Amino acid sequence: MMRYEFVLRKVATAPSDFQPMLILGIETSCDDTSLALYSVRDGVLDMVTASQVIHDDYGGVVPEIASRQHMQAMLPVYHELIRRNDITVKDIGGIGVTHGPGLVGSLLVGVGFAKALAYATGIPAVGVHHIEAHVLSNELEGESLQYPCVVLIVSGGHSQLFHCAAPRQYELVGNTRDDAAGEAFDKIAKLLGLGYPGGPALQALASSGDPKAFDFPRAMKTRNIDFSFSGLKTAVRLCIEKYAEIDDTVRANVAASAQEAIVDVLTDKTIRCARSHTVKHVYLAGGVAANGPLRERLQSACAANGMTYHAPLLKYCMDNGAMIARTALVDLSAGIDDARTLNVFARGILRTR
Ligand code: KG4
Ligand code: ZN
């Protein structure tokens, strides 16, 4: 299998005079057009997000439709953000834009917009790695990450465990072997006839079910800290197929038991990873970090193991422009401006050499 890596550039340690007081963050890697303003002094000022509901008709994100929807949403979202904060483009000191990983057509809309704005105004712009932004979404409420730490990133495209010895030191120590956690939620939700995205709908259905009703597989639970969710999806499908007709109670029980299996594996592996790296700080991030049972379970497991736990506010779990602006601050403050050379990439594991 091809291995794609994205090696973070080393940020110059020499102090830069440049302090971008207000940063515009732009996120278009999948199906959310999200723009935010981040003040270096006050944190997140505002965020406007256009979420694409059209994909529900197709049971998943259709890349070609997603990029067209970003094209339609970009200017209205930008103007809304500027108008309601009573600022002009001249007030923006720096631009951060997701340049990967993600859907190339969608990324191009954000990057194209960022570059056009940068060319026209001279505002510096930097590309942001989407996964690093999820990690730093934990800093959007003002507190800096504590190191060394372990971060569990769980989204529609990723289930990854990072060991971070210091800021911007990302060591990938656990990864999915097949489906990502969010993908598992979405596919199981689809089997249960729920809409897209399936995660929130599955959580809602599971709340009235019995998590012990079905004993679904926990792949590689004790063996390593990689993840595998495709066996769970198959087990759920086979379970559903046994019923000629599936009533609401069984549906809720299947949802609750499947969610339990995912939460169980994610929590267990994160704690084992933190223990094996003798780390005391654990962070959660990504769309699946919005899952209530996962948040509760990981929090109590951390407390039981003498570890601190932190997860972003729900609005910062899903893809958002605020985390992009926050992450861009690092490179912008170092005086970096990539406006002329920025390009997009579909895949690339976040790594620091
Ligand atoms: O981070 P994100 O917004 O986009 C990607 O970068 O992929 O994550 C989206 C994923 C979807 O798979 C969605 O079903 C899942 O996050 N998700 C949830 C919940 N809210 C969103 N999964 C489980 N429980 C939730 N409450
Ligand atoms: Zn994401």
The DSSP code sequence of 251-283 is: HHHHHHHHHHHHHHHHHHHHHHHHHHTT--EEE
Q: How far apart are CA 155 and CA 163, in angstroms?
A: 18
Buried b (16+ CB within 10 A) or exposed e, 76-100: ebbeebbeeeebeeeebbbbbbbbb
At residue 331, the 3 state secondary structure works out as helix
Stretch 203-219: mean pLDDT, rounded?
96
Domains and CATH numbers, the chain: 2-137+317-333 (3.30.420.40), 147-311 (3.30.420.40)
Question: Could you tell me the distance, in angstroms and rounded to a whole number, from the CA of residue 31 to the centre of ligand 2?
Answer: 10
Tell me the pTM: 0.95
94, 24 contact by CB (below 8 A): yes
Checking if the pLDDT of 57 tops 80, the result is no
Question: Could you tell me the distance, in angstroms and rounded to a whole number, from the CA of residue 199 to the centre of ligand 1?
Answer: 6
Per cent of the chain over pLDDT 90 is 86
Q: Which of 44-58, 203-217, 230-244, 263-277 has the lowest mean pLDDT?
A: 44-58
User: Residue of the nearest CA to atom 1 in ligand 1?
Assistant: 287
User: Residue of the nearest CA to atom 13 in ligand 1?
Assistant: 199
Stretch 82-105: mean pLDDT, rounded?
97
Checking if the pLDDT of 234 tops 60, the result is yes
Q: Which of 7-16, 45-54, 61-70, 114-123 has the lowest mean pLDDT?
A: 7-16
Atom of ligand 1 nearest to the CA of 286: 1
Which residues contact residue 295 at a Cβ distance below 8 angstroms, ignoring those fewer than 6 apart?
Answer: 284, 289, 311
Residue 312 CA: which ligand is closest?
1
Atom of ligand 1 nearest to the CA of 130: 6
220 or 253: which leads in pLDDT: 253
**Helix ranges (DSSP H) in 122-247:** 130-136, 181-191, 198-206, 230-241
Q: How far apart are CA 329 and CA 78, in angstroms?
A: 19
Atom of ligand 1 nearest to the CA of 183: 12
Checking if the pLDDT of 259 tops 60, the result is yes
Which residue in 173, 120, 121, 116 sits closest to 149, CA to CA? 173
Q: Which of 155, 188, 191, 207 to mutate to test the pocket of ligand 1 (most atoms within 8 A of CB)?
A: 155
Question: Could you tell me the distance, in angstroms and rounded to a whole number, from the CA of residue 9 to the centre of ligand 1?
Answer: 28
Checking if the pLDDT of 311 tops 90, the result is yes
Q: What is the DSSP letter of 176?
A: B
Checking if the pLDDT of 152 tops 60, the result is yes
pLDDT band at 15 (very low <50, low <70, confident <90, very high): low
Which residue in 70, 85, 39, 113 sits closest to 325, CA to CA? 39
pLDDT band at 229 (very low <50, low <70, confident <90, very high): very high
> What pLDDT shows up at residue 238?
97
Q: Which residues line ligand 1 (CB under 6 A)?
A: 30, 155-157, 182, 185-186, 197-200, 203, 286-288, 290-291, 318-319
Computed over every residue of the chain, the mean pLDDT equals: 94
Residue 183 CA: which ligand is closest?
1
Stretch 31-40: mean pLDDT, rounded?
96
Which residues contact residue 331 at a Cβ distance below 8 angstroms, ignoring those fewer than 6 apart?
Answer: 9, 11, 96, 126, 338
Question: Could you tell me the distance, in angstroms and rounded to a whole number, from the CA of residue 106 to the centre of ligand 1?
Answer: 18
> What pLDDT shows up at residue 13?
57
